[in-house]
Amino acid sequence: MGARCHPLTKKVVGENWRNVMKKIVVVAVALVAVASAAFAGGMAEPIMEMSPVVIEEAAAGSAGMGMLIPLILIALIAMALMPSA
């Protein structure tokens, strides 16, 4: 069976039109397959590298200072509670 022409547009219709539509469908399916593979992983989280923070410990002499104030307060309270002679 030969190709027919549309009476008004003089364009080929029939089997040639089916071949064109098949090619369009094949191209569309290929584009969808490529696009879905490209976006399959999604965007990766950005990796932020932070420099290590070094915390220096306080000197050993200041540790005794932390105990000095409570000891002075305890001594003052003890002296205030002692009966006067």
Residue-wise pLDDT tens digits, 40-69: 666 677 788 888 888 877 655 555 667 888
Q: Tell me the two tokens of residue 61.
A: 């002499």
**Average pLDDT of the chain?**
76
Q: What letters, b where the CB count within 10 A reaches 16 and e where it falls short, cover 19-57?
A: eeeeeeeeeeeeeeeeeeeeeeeeeeeeeeeeeeeeeee
Which residues pair with residue 12 across a beta bridge? Answer: 5
| Sequence letter at residue 9 | T
Domain extents in the chain: 4-38
Query: Whole-model pTM?
Result: 0.34
